[in-house]
Amino acid sequence: MMEKMIFGRYVPAHSLIHRMDPRSKLMIIFLFVCIVFIANNSLTYGLLAIYTLGMISLSKVPFRFIISGLKPVLWLVLFTLLLHLFLTKEGELLFQAGWFSIYEEGLRQGIFISLRFFLLILMTSILTLTTTPIEITDGLESLLHPLNKVKFPVHELALMMSISLRFIPTLMQETDKIMKAQTARGVDFSSGPIKDRVKAIIPLLIPLFVNSFKRAEELATAMEARGYRGGEGRTKYRQLSWGLKDTSMLIFLGILTALLVLFRT
């Protein structure tokens, strides 16, 4: 029932992107989020789009799959586009029918901003599709390590993150299971009047919450029983390793940034 969602899911493979150090991937995403805002004309947006498509093809995740998984988000992108089309009233008038009119600037901005939005979503999807949640947290913990100096609880934050990420699939499975169990008891989740459908959420949510609390308690007990005492002096089983590919990918992004700055108007 929730099978198509790809948000936060990992597709195992051995592509270049999969093998990169999570730290470099996180840095690239972070930088990408910044440089997206440099682009302001067709050429620079084109460069960004080519870069993103290049990254997707390097990741070996089928493009069709990404698109079909992002369908719910695509509506949001479309909405952004329409909002700009209708509300921006600058530049030359392109089209008019009654009260409805489209201006050149509206079209331009609509396309650019929704494209920007879309590229950001694509890039972050590539990160989560090619990096296991554990890698992401390890990378983040390592990148944020300097903040320890100012007493920022980096390890605890990373732990919280990895636990939540770890339990997303469990939660999805359980949602699916309980939905099926209640459907078998006559609940209709997918049709009927809105009022009934809202009511149908209760038999789903209560068991989900109860089970989650139970699981959290069990997890805490299990961690304590195995002597967990926080991050101090803790060594890692999975070592991160920075390689040539990571440096080159960052340099490549640097070149892209330079080009963007050069060609923006």
Partner 1 sequence: MDISLQKVEYRYQANTPFERLAIIDVSIDIPSGTFLAIIGHTGSGKSTVLQHLNALLKPTAGKVVIGDKEVTADKKQKNLKDIRQKVGIVFQFPEHQLFEETVEKDICFGPMNFGVSMEEAQRRAKVAIKQVGLSEEILSKSPFDLSGGQMRRVAIAGVLAMEPDVIVLDEPTAGLDPRGRKEIMDMFHALHKERELSTVLVTHSMEDASKYADHIVIMQKGEVYKKGTPEEIFSSPEGLMQLGLDVPEVVRFQKKIEETFHIKFSQTCLTAELLTEEIALLLKGGEQK
Contact set with partner 1 (CB under 8 A): 3-4, 9, 11, 61-62, 65, 68-69, 174, 177-178, 180-188, 202-203, 206-207, 210-211
Alpha-carbon torsion, ordered 245, 250, 253, 255, to 10 deg? -100
Q: What's the first-to-final CA gap in the chain, in angstroms?
A: 47
132 token code pair: 């296991």
CB of 213 to partner 1, least distance (A): 10
CA distances from residue 19 to 50, 185, 247, 250 in whole angstroms, order as listed: 22, 46, 13, 15
CB of 238 to partner 1, least distance (A): 24
What's the rounded Cα separation, in Å, for the pair 36 and 45?
A: 8
What's the rounded Cα separation, in Å, for the pair 240 and 242?
A: 7
What's the rounded Cα separation, in Å, for the pair 3 and 168?
A: 13
Task: Name the one residue in this structure whose structure tokens are 């870069």.
Answer: 51
CB of 107 to partner 1, least distance (A): 35
Q: Which is nearer to partner 1, 101 or 175 (CB)?
A: 175
CB of 210 to partner 1, least distance (A): 7
Q: Which is nearer to partner 1, 213 or 242 (CB)?
A: 213
Q: Which is nearer to partner 1, 202 or 250 (CB)?
A: 202
Q: Which is nearer to partner 1, 9 or 155 (CB)?
A: 9
Coil/strand/helix, residue 11? coil
What's the rounded Cα separation, in Å, for the pair 46 and 63?
A: 18
Q: Tell me, letter by letter, the H, E, C secondary structure of 225-265.
A: HCCCCCCCCCCCCCCCCCCHHHHHHHHHHHHHHHHHHHHCC
CB of 178 to partner 1, least distance (A): 6
Q: Where are the alpha helices (DSSP H) in 88-131?
A: 104-130
CB of 187 to partner 1, least distance (A): 6
CB of 220 to partner 1, least distance (A): 19
Q: Which is nearer to partner 1, 55 or 154 (CB)?
A: 55
Q: Which is nearer to partner 1, 69 or 106 (CB)?
A: 69
Q: Which is nearer to partner 1, 203 or 231 (CB)?
A: 203
What's the rounded Cα separation, in Å, for the pair 20 and 127?
A: 10
